[in-house]
Amino acid sequence: MSCGDATCNTDRERKMVAVAGGAFCDPCIAPLIGALNDGGIKTIASCCGHGRRPASVALADGRFMIVARDFAEFQKISALFPTDINGDPFPPPSPITNAEEKR
């Protein structure tokens, strides 16, 4: 989810759009914010990241969501956590190749 607007940081407030519940958000993430609210997941604040960082969404229940622009950004975010969902080291150690075993 990239903003895609080269002038995103110019007149940011003027470009905001209203979504369900009267909240305002950046136009490039309005479909996501609208879908969350329409689905019963109420949002209170959001930011597309303006091409400088991942998008973020503040939920009414106190949680925050980070939205990666693509898989590469997701991998960078995931690398900040030392374990996977099963408690195993993340990322997993690289498998040893046959060439390395013969050394």
- The pLDDT value recorded for residue 92 is 63
Identify the DSSP state of 89: B
- The pLDDT value recorded for residue 17 is 83
End-to-end CA distance of the chain: 45
Q: How far is Cα 42 from Cα 52, in angstroms, rounded to an integer?
A: 25
- How many CA atoms within 13 Å lie on the side-chain side of 29? 28
pLDDT at 96 exceeding the cut of 80: no
Domain range summary for the chain, segments of one domain joined by +: 12-101
Q: What is the pTM of this model?
A: 0.72
- Average pLDDT for the chain: 82
pLDDT at 65 exceeding the cut of 50: yes
Backbone φ, ψ for residue 72 (5° rounding): -60, -40
